[in-house]
Amino acid sequence: MSPEKKPDNLINAEGLRVDGRRIDELRPIEMKVGVLKQADGSASIRQGKTYIIAAVYGPRELHPRHLTLNDRAYLRVVYRMTTFSVPDRKRPAPSRREKEISMVIANALSPVIFLEEFPKAVIDVFVTVIQADGGTRCAAINAASLALADAGIPMKSLVPSVAVGKAEGQLIVDLGDEEDKYGQGDIPMAILPHTEEIVLLQQDGSFTREEIIEALQMGINSCKYLHEVQKDALKAAYVGATSDEDEENDDEDDDYLDDL
């Protein structure tokens, strides 16, 4: 395979990025729930060329037993990239990066799940990257959050996530693969949309204090938009599927989704 060529500019003179987006514009996003029949809950996300599927199983009995927590459920997240998800074939064995992202996803989701309602049980979340084109950890959180809701796991809120980065000295939202590789850094984040509480915040690269403050606000605004996309995906799967006899329940469903 020929080596990938670095673009001359990540942002052109007109202020447009390599894929034609403005600096504060997200990639095209499509989210769906209930995509796997065998799982208790599932969801998929297409964000640009990135494609991820998340599946949830549980709450169920935990094995091995030594991992059991007496006062709450154990949230076990497994993030994996398929061997064909990147241009150069990925090794099948779990990488250090995959293990790190598994932990990051679990830490971002744990604050919103009522784990104390299921002591000694486990909630398994499996995230599979079918195609990677940048931003996989944030897209994985978006999909995993939806899959948990689809499984009926009690949650305080859905968790939207996005990365804000820097290229050519300018802050940009939702980095694509080239921006991720050749940009000046990125700040992945996830929030609780109603309170703007940050449940994930990482940084790679150098940012000034003013840039970090601006990046956080750009990320919060984008996360709130992603939250609406998440709610629309749930409504499309459930509210739209109810019969006319359940019109009264539709209002209750809408209220519940608004709470999420």
Give the distance, in angstroms, between the CA of residue 57 and the centroid of all CA atoms in the same chain.
18
CB within 8 Å of 22: residues ≥ 6 apart:
15, 16
* ∠ CA 98-90-50, rounded to 5°: 70
Please, what are the domains in the chain?
29-259 (3.30.230.70)
pTM for the structure as a whole: 0.90
What are the phi and psi torsion angles at 178 (to 5°)?
A: -65, -40
Q: What is the pLDDT of residues 186-204, one digit of tens each?
A: 999 999 999 999 999 999 9
Output b/e per residue, 21-56; b: 16+ Cβ within 10 A. bebeebbebebbbbbbeebbbbbbbbbbebbbbbbb
* Residue type, position 132, single letter: A
CB within 8 Å of 36: residues ≥ 6 apart:
42, 53, 55
Give the distance, in angstroms, between the CA of residue 94 and the centroid of all CA atoms in the same chain.
20
Answer for the pair 179, 64: CB distance below 8 angstroms, yes or no.
no
> Which pLDDT tens digits describe the chain residue by residue (260 residues)?
445 677 888 999 898 999 999 999 999 999 999 999 999 999 999 999 999 999 999 999 998 889 899 999 999 999 999 998 887 887 888 889 999 999 999 999 999 999 999 999 999 999 999 999 999 999 999 999 999 999 999 999 999 999 999 999 999 999 999 999 999 999 999 999 999 999 999 999 999 999 999 999 999 999 999 999 999 999 999 876 554 445 555 555 566 566 67
Please report the pLDDT score of residue 142 as a whole number: 98
* Residue type, position 130, single letter: I
Please report the pLDDT score of residue 119 as a whole number: 96
Residues listed for the chain: 260
Please report the pLDDT score of residue 91 as a whole number: 81
Please report the pLDDT score of residue 94 as a whole number: 80
* Residue type, position 142, single letter: N
